[in-house]
Amino acid sequence: MVQSALPPYQMLSPNSVVCLMSPTASGKTDLAFELYQTGRFELISVDSALIYQGMDIGTAKPTADELAKFPHHLVDIITPTETYSVANFVADVGRLIDGIHHRGKIPLLVGGTMMYYMALFDGISSVPETDQSVRGKVNQWLVDEGIDALYAYLQTHDPIICQKLKPSDTQRITRALEVLLQTGKPMSHWQNTPKVALSHDPKWHWYGIIVTPDRAWLHERIGRRLDIMWADGFVDEVIALINEYPTLDADMPSMRCVGYRQVLEHLCRIRHECVVNHPTIHQYYQSNFAKLTDEQIIAEISANFPKKSTKTPINLWDLSCQDMKNKALYATRQLAKRQYTWLKQLALMDNPTITNVTIASFDSIEQVQKQFLQSHQL
C-alpha cells in the first residue's frame, strides 16, 4: 500500500475504486453527494446500520428525497430481523464494483463501518456462513443449558479460540460453536486460513481516503446530531419497529446498533407496552427489568447523575429519558473513538507486494474537497 497525495477525481483511471473513510458525523455524506453530482461516481454505502429498512432517524440515514437524488447501493436492503455478514458485504461490493465499472462510472464507497473497510483492504478468513438449522440447534442449547455449558464445550473442542473469548461473550461463543458443529473444524482453524481481500485484485486500483478530524470538533457535531434525532422522533421510531416486527429480538444486530440499544433500555425501564407485550423482546424485559421496582430503577439511574438537592419529585420517565440520551451520546463518542483507532491501523498497513492501493490521509473533509475536487464548479 502506498501513502500518497490524492489525485483530482478527473484524473482517476476507469478501474478506480474510491473509499471515503471517516468517523461518524464528520461530514462525509455531504462530500459524497457533491462527488455524485459530478456524474463520475456511483455511491455504495459502507454502514452496517443503513442496511436496515425502517431504521432511519437513529442511523442518520439520508432522507427519501436525498436517496432519490443521490442513490446509494446497500441501503434498506434487509429488515431489522434479518442478518447481514461481513462476507455478504464483501460479496455484494465485488459484484457492485464490476457493474459500476461496466456502466462507465467509478464506485465511491462511503460510510463509517470500519470492520467492512478492513475486510476490503486486509481481507477476511474463509469462515463459512452458518446453516440456519445449525444456528437453531445452538440457540436451543443456549436456552436449555446456558452460556456456561456452551463455553465449557468450546473449551474442550477449541481451546485456542477460547483464549480470545470472554466466558460471557454469547455472540462469539455461539458463532464458534455453529462453525464447529457445521464444519467439523474449529473456528481457530478457519481464522488461520489465508485472508482474501478485494483490494488485492490487480484489475482494480483502490484509493483509500482517510479523514481524522479534531475530536473536540467531532464530539460537538455528534451532540448536535443526536439532539436532532431526539427532536425528529427517534424514540417513536424504535417503538414503531418493535410493534411492526413480532420476531424482533433484543440480541439481534439491528437492536445492538448505537442509539437503538439505549432507546430499548429506556422503553424497558418505563415499562412501555411495546416491550412488555412483545413476543420476544418481552424475554429481555423480564430478565433485566421486570423484577425491579420503580424506586430501584430510579436509584440505579440517579447514581449516574450529580447529586442535587431538590424537593421536586423524581419522575421515572424524565430521569430515564435523560439517562438514555446521556448513554447514547457516550456510546456514539466511543464508536467514534474506535473508528479513529481503526483508521490509524488502516493508515499504517503496509504490504510492499500490493501496488494497486493508494492511501491518502486528511484532517478534515474540507481538505479532501480542496485536493480531490480542485475547485471544480458543479
Which parts are annotated binding residues? 22-29
Task: Extract the annotated binding site for ATP.
Answer: 22-29
DSSP annotation string for 237-285: HHHHHHHH-TT--TTSGGGGSTTHHHHHHHHHHTT-HHHHT-TTHHHHH
Q: How many residues does the chain have?
A: 378
Report the phi/psi class of residue 186: left, alpha or beta, with left for phi > 0 and alpha for psi in -120 to 50. beta
Q: How far is CA 215 from CA 61, 150, 278, 325, 367, in A?
A: 22, 41, 40, 20, 16
Closest by CA position to 222, among listed 79, 65, 340, 66: 340
Task: Extract the annotated binding site for substrate.
Answer: 24-29
DSSP annotation string for 22-88: --TTSSHHHHHHHHHTTTSEEEEE--TTTTBTT--TTTTPPPHHHHHHS-EETSS-B-TTS---HHH
Exposed e or buried b per residue across 26-58, where buried means at least 16 C-beta atoms within 10 angstroms of its C-beta = bbbbebbebbbeeebbbbbbbbbbbbbebbbbb
Q: Return the number of other C-beta atoms located less than 10 Å from residue 79's C-beta.
A: 17
Closest by CA position to 91, among listed 62, 68, 120: 120
308 DSSP assignment:
-
- Cα 197 to Cα 223: distance, rounded to the nearest angstrom: 35
Closest by CA position to 59, among listed 42, 45, 47, 71: 47
Q: How far is CA 349 from CA 7, 100, 204, 237, 352, in A?
A: 21, 27, 19, 40, 10
Q: Return the number of other C-beta atoms located less than 10 Å from residue 312's C-beta.
A: 6
- Cα 253 to Cα 49: distance, rounded to the nearest angstrom: 9
